[in-house]
Structure 1
Amino acid sequence: MGKKKVAAYTEEFRREAVRRSDQEGVTAAEVARELGIHPGQIYNWRRQFHRLSDKQFNSLNGVDYSKKESETERKLRRENETLRKEVEFLKKATAYFAKNRE
């Protein structure tokens, strides 16, 4: 018998599921049914979100959402992270082509 494959959900997906289940008049079971997951999973994510906010559900694409920042600051941080990765790539490409030129 093989291991059962566990689906990996993005942090964004988990946050949205918890947010939707916290809305008035909506149950976790309803949201879980819509998303095709077990309701217990939403309860686990909610517990993690509330209890472990400094460890779980706090960063995405280099942006720390546990801090109080404006959306503009978050946008700039995301852009900065993207540019940082591009610079790293260009450094590696430059080194590679410089090596081949010799």
Structure 2
Amino acid sequence: MNQKKANSYTDEFREGAVKLAIESDQSVAQTARELGINVNTLHTWINKYQEQLPSGSAKQEGQHLYDELKQLRRENARLKEERAILKKAAAFFAKESL
């Protein structure tokens, strides 16, 4: 039976990873991949970090910002798709008018 050795990370690395995941514009999963850690591990660290915040309102604010970020990313993806469709339509109609 092969057992994987549990990775041990320094507190500084964990704190840096959490700050990067929270403050960056990329997803938590992407941040975890770039750092070479498991996505669930990073989510656990983020949850522990948010639990250590002094007030419950800060945790709610963090959740509100996370929800807003998810909504804005969905909207951004939709707008990019619409823009691509409009570019194709403009090219089609420009070719038709020649």
TM-score, structure 2 normalization? 0.49
Q: Which has the higher helix share?
A: 2
